[in-house]
Amino acid sequence: MAKKRNLILTVILLAGLFGLAWYINFETDSYLRRIVNLCMVYAIIGLSMNLTNGFTGQFSLGQAGFMAIGAYAVGIFTVPVSLRPSVFYAAPMHPAIADIHMPLWLALIVGGLCAALVAFLIGAPVLRLRGDYLAVATLGFSEIIRIVITNAQTITNGALGIKDIPPLNDVRYIFAFTAAVFIFITALINTSYGRAFKAIREDEIAAEAMGIDLFKHKSLAFMLSAFFAGIGGGLYAALLGTVDPKNFLFTLTYNFLLIIVLGGMGSITGSMIGSILVTAGLEFLRIFDEPLELFGVAIPLFRPGFRMVIFSVLLMALVLFWRRGIMGTREFTWDKTIAFCKNPFGIFGRKGVDKA
């Protein structure tokens, strides 16, 4: 009964959000559309990163590299063939790919698959490492990917980047991808495989003794993470309309690290909340960048860059008081929401859940 009710509620919520996406697409200005799109793309990449870092407990910092692969797949395959000579003016495109043109959705999947393949190859040496070593190794590989892209002149146009990517402004299109990724990851986490990932996070030795093949499962999580990061990167490229190796510096990864730490490592709904807070929050804090006068007195601190100070202070407060992020490893569920609506003060009396 409750299961069926929850499914119906989820379908209603998704339909409602899709309707909202529709409304935003046609009824609002391009500035708001852009923020909403960016939120959703960041949510996809945040979710992908949470799969390895949050659920499987492998601290990987390679997301920017996998995004770059997806972004370049979109850049290479979706630019109209007629425009390519003007884009690749320094050196013509390699003849093997010069005539291949794909619709965006296909380029996204191709990009995702390429990223997963690279993750598979990188995973063999890297996933034997643990903790900080894994972080450093994945960070290094992410830079290697970027540098290879910068130097593959006839395929990626090198340091010049690729422009004239048909721009994507449709909120509904990105929403559909975000919803699909969200549903797939939620479904996967709630299967036996998801439990195996969490077991690896909790205790590798015990997981192994219970028959979970560590390397196989870490590799699976890493490849899935790369696949979704590739799709996210592709959407990001389509949103920007250009790709450039400098977009994918390793510092980009920290945005997503911030999102998942803020939302809660190991929480899907946490990643969604984190991506909205970080992306939209940074935009709405822009009022602090404008000079402000109160009762004829100019407040001295209000100047460009001040919002980052406020943002950092908010972050510090959040991490100090909610050490495990907003959601921790918990999830938003209908059961809890309904219980909350029936008894809003019940959450204060709940035992066992809010400890630690």
**Chain positions contacting another protein, by CB under 8 A:** 184, 187-188, 191-193, 195-196, 198-199, 202-203, 205-214, 220, 224, 329, 352
Q: Which helix (H) or strand (E) holds 353?
A: none
Least spacing, CB of residue 186 vs another protein, in Å? 9
Taking a C-beta distance cutoff of 8 angstroms, is the pair 245, 163 a contact?
Answer: no
Rounded Cα gap, residues 209 and 205, in angstroms = 6
Among residues 206 and 298, whose Cβ is nearest to another protein?
206
Least spacing, CB of residue 7 vs another protein, in Å? 12
Taking a C-beta distance cutoff of 8 angstroms, is the pair 71, 252 a contact?
Answer: no
Least spacing, CB of residue 188 vs another protein, in Å? 4
User: Kind of pairing, strands 297-299 and 292-294?
Assistant: antiparallel
Least spacing, CB of residue 344 vs another protein, in Å? 22
Among residues 245 and 263, whose Cβ is nearest to another protein?
263
Half-sphere exposure in the Cβ direction for 252 (13 Å, CA): 23
Least spacing, CB of residue 221 vs another protein, in Å? 10
Q: Look at the block and give the residue holding tokens 């593959």.
A: 152
Least spacing, CB of residue 276 vs another protein, in Å? 25
Least spacing, CB of residue 51 vs another protein, in Å? 12
Rounded Cα gap, residues 44 and 21, in angstroms = 16
Taking a C-beta distance cutoff of 8 angstroms, is the pair 87, 154 a contact?
Answer: no
Among residues 305 and 352, whose Cβ is nearest to another protein?
352
Among residues 1 and 209, whose Cβ is nearest to another protein?
209
3-state secondary structure of 164: coil
Rounded Cα gap, residues 125 and 144, in angstroms = 15
3-state secondary structure 112-135: HHHHHHHHHHHHHHHCCCCHHHHH
Among residues 48 and 157, whose Cβ is nearest to another protein?
48
Among residues 5 and 195, whose Cβ is nearest to another protein?
195
